[in-house]
Amino acid sequence: MIKADFVEKVAERTGLTRILVKSTIESFLDCLREALEQGQRIEFRNFGVFQVKVRPPKVARNPKTGERVDVPQRKKVTFKPSRALKLY
Strands (E), the chain: 42-44, 48-55, 58-61, 68-71, 74-81
Q: What angle do CA 3, 43, 7 make, to 5 degrees?
A: 15
Q: How many residues does the chain have?
A: 88
Tell me whether strands 74-81 and 48-55 are parallel, antiparallel or unpaired. Answer: antiparallel
- Over residues 12-69, the pLDDT tens digits come to 999 999 999 999 999 999 999 999 999 999 999 989 999 999 999 999 999 999 999 9
The answer to whether 6 touches 22, Cβ cutoff 8 Å, is no
**pTM summary value:** 0.76
pLDDT at site 20: 97
pLDDT at site 9: 96
The listed CATH number (2.60.40.10, 4.10.520.10, 2.60.40.290, 3.40.50.1100) that belongs to domain 39-88: 4.10.520.10
